[in-house]
Amino acid sequence: MPKKSILDLQNMKERGEKLVWLTSYDYTTAQFAEKAGVEMILVGDSMGMCVYGYSGGTIPVTMDQCIVHTEAVRRGAPNTMVVGDMPFSSYQISPEDAIFNASRFYKEAGVDAIKLEGGRRIIKMIKAITNSGMVVCGHIGLTPQSSGQLGGFKAQGLTAESAYELFLDAIAVQDAGATFLLLEAIPPEVGKIITEKLKIPVYGIGAGQYVDGQLLIVCDMLGIFKAFTPKFVKKYANIADQSIKAMENYAKDVKNEKFPEERHSYSMLPGEKEKFIEKI
Ligand code: KIV
């Protein structure tokens, strides 16, 4: 399948065709995603939880970590749109900083777009990055980097007033030049209205069925991440349990000398064993 361009995303919105979007943080999983027909990969700062096990969630994740993981994903999925995720403090300080860090994703990791969290309060940064020729994905609703201000990992847009604030953010992000937008953890009816009102594609993670495409975190949908599972996750596998079972079986086999078997071992060349024994 050829790599999607932003024109394809726009055409898909117009045709009503949903986009399939998944996170990935490494080469192997990116290969699986590309093979499975996933159309866009986010190398999310959710790596803070899924890969690094930080108790501070996404906050400690650095630009250098994001670059290393994004490079690996790019190598694993050369024909898939890859979105780099701007980590906390990589774009909030100044528009210059935002341009510098967004360009690192392009120059060092070969991304097709970058994502940053926030609505009206980061408009200057979105404009600066898009004016530098890069593709921006906005991200509003539950924004994990500011979850402290939101009172935790809580759904947003539950009241008319907060839904309206989200709507204003969505319009502002589009007007600032973002090419597409991600809505996280909001009610479906709010996702529907924003998707219908915006010209750019609007995708969702926990934003209901009416958006232009869906994103899931790979560790959640494969059942790898056990600490907690958000309400919006559908688990398509239980890799954690399968992995633990496989490792238990391996441990048992080693203890009981059932592994390795002859078929897992190398054979010396004919006659060499006797010569070797003679030598020693
Ligand atoms: O880092 C990430 O995976 C994200 C999603 C939660 C949207 O930003």
Instruction: For 168-218, write each residue's pLDDT tens digit.
Output: 999 999 999 999 999 999 999 999 999 999 999 999 999 999 999 999 999
Residue environment code for 223-244, b if the CB has 16+ CB neighbours within 10 A, otherwise e = bbbeeeeeebbeeeeebeeeee
Other CB atoms within 10 Å distance of the CB of residue 130: 16
80 C-alpha to center of ligand 1: Å? 18
Please give the pLDDT value at position 228: 84
216 lines ligand 1 (CB under 6 A): no
Q: What is the largest CA-CA distance in the chain?
A: 88
Residue 227: predicted pLDDT: 85
Which of these is catalytic: 34, 39, 117, 184?
Answer: 184
Mutate to test the pocket of ligand 1, among 21, 22, 50, 58 (most ligand atoms within 8 A of CB): 58
In this prediction, residue 161 carries a pLDDT of: 98
Angle between helices 63-76 and 27-36 (to 10 degrees): 50
Per-residue pLDDT at 103 exceeds 90: yes
Q: Assess whether pLDDT exceeds 90 at residue 78.
A: yes
Sequence letter at residue 5: S
Q: Give the pLDDT band (50/70/90) at residue 68.
A: very high
pLDDT of residue 222: 98
Atom 3 of ligand 1, residue of closest alpha carbon? 44
What pLDDT is attached to residue 226? 84
pLDDT digits (tens, 9 = 90+) for 35-67: 999 999 999 999 999 999 999 999 999 999 999
Tell me the CA–centroid distance for residue 33 and ligand 1, in Å.
Answer: 16
C-beta 45 within 6 A of ligand 1 = yes
DSSP state of 212: S
- Tell me, what's the pLDDT at 168? 98
- pLDDT tens-place string over residues 105-140: 999 999 999 999 999 999 999 999 999 999 999 999
Environment class of 31 (CB within 10 Å of its CB; exposed 0-12, middle 13-18, buried 19+): middle
Ligand 1: does its nearest atom lie under 6 Å from the Cβ of 220?
Answer: no
262 three-class SS: helix
Q: Where are the alpha helices (DSSP H) in the chain?
A: 6-15, 27-36, 47-50, 63-76, 95-109, 123-131, 160-175, 188-197, 218-221, 239-255, 272-279
